[in-house]
Amino acid sequence: MAGMVAVSRGRPPRVSMQEHMAIDVSPGPIRPIHLISDYFPHFYPFTKHSLPTLDPHPAVTPAIHSSPQLQPDPEPEGDSDDSTALGTLEFTLLFDADNSALHCTAHRAKGLKPPASGSVDTYVKANLLPGTSKASQLRTRTVRGTRGPVWEETLTYHGFTCQDAGRKTLRLCVCEDPRLRRRRRAPPLGELRVPLRKLVPNRARSFDVCLEKRKLTKRPKSLDTARGMSLYEEDEVEAAGEERGRILLSLCYSSQQGGLLVGVLRCAHLAPMDANGYSDPFVRLFLHPNVGKRSKYKTSVRKKTLNPEFNEEFFYAGPREELAQKTLLVSVWDYDLGTADDFIGGVQLSSQAGGECQQHWCECLGRSDCRLELWHPLDGAPLQLSD
């Protein structure tokens, strides 16, 4: 009643801000925005939508009981933020315990997110962690021109033992071909990690896992960083106390030749000794004591590798009773031109060595014409001989 009197006397009514906004701004019932492209048509040049014109003074309409909801358009491939945005990788792992090998077969990838350069030429890179990056790094061939590459390629780690399966992790990265980018080290499209302790020996296991973003760790301040060196490093560096590598040796006492055949087959995961992150390894053999006979041999040099393959055999003459009292020293070296060679690691085989070294030596001399192959870890300490 007082409001009617105020109006009759010519005074403007007092209206709150909420009532003002409801009267002058609200066009009517609130309706959902169906497509964001209605307001940004330049993002979708192939779809033409027109904004509905809103009447500033809408007429009173009956209440809306239900409004149809339009289904959103499917998002373009690679623009999603969910866990599958980086794609998936299908692969198979097999731990061959009889031959001390780990086989990783990369089958295919699906739904890879294209990089900024638009390149879709990809390959798979594998690393064993912890360990030196280049010693355990393997890669497949490059498949070009597709977001769903199919490799069907097997990568093999030789010298992989049960101890490795219990403490190591396999990291797989899907990378673009570095030859197509000007940057030397481009980040991978995605990666995944598999704890190898879950593998059952001699039984293949297949995986279909979503890729994740690369994980980097802060470089310790104690390290002297050179100019231009990244402040972050991959956690694939060699852990403290990590072994220096392994060597595969074959022993056979030949009854026809009357002596011992020592085969240097290959090495795996050697420690890098050169500035380029590799080594130029070769193997030296020394049978002690061996007075009056040839006791020292040396293999050829393999250039720029941490997983050399030698397949060379050497012969030591003598009866088995005499050989049983001797010691075979096997050492791996890095060849340096003009300077002293760098010692990588070694192993000592004798009846007093203990462990697998003693078992390998005694079993070989206890049989005739039977070739025994065994992987031996290298010791970083210089070999000591006692007369």
Q: How far apart are the C-alpha atoms of 368 and 286, rounded to whole Å? A: 22
Same domain, 252 and 369: yes
DSSP 326: S
Q: Confirm whether 39 is domain-assigned.
A: no
For residue range 188-241, what is the model confidence (pLDDT) as tens digits? 889 999 999 989 999 999 999 999 987 655 444 444 444 344 444 444 444 434
What is the pLDDT at residue 293? 62
Residue 366 has pLDDT above 70, yes or no: yes
Same domain, 256 and 180: no
What is the average pLDDT across 340-366? 92
Residues 6 or more apart from 126 whose CB is under 8 A from it?
104, 136, 137, 138, 139, 155, 170, 171, 172, 173
What is the pLDDT at residue 331? 95
pTM over 0.75: no
Nearest to 344 by CA among 283, 295, 264, 276: 283
**Structural domain count, the chain:** 2
What is the pLDDT at residue 178? 67
What is the pLDDT at residue 79? 39
Q: Which string of DSSP letters, residue by residue, matches 221-289?
A: TTS-PPTT--SEE-TTSPPTT----EEEEEEEEETTTTEEEEEEEEEESPPP-STTS---EEEEEEEES
Q: Confirm whether 2 is domain-assigned.
A: no
What is the pLDDT at residue 219? 47
Same domain, 93 and 184: yes
Same domain, 139 and 258: no
Range of the domain at 303: 246-377
What is the pLDDT at residue 380? 83
Q: Confirm whether 50 is domain-assigned.
A: no
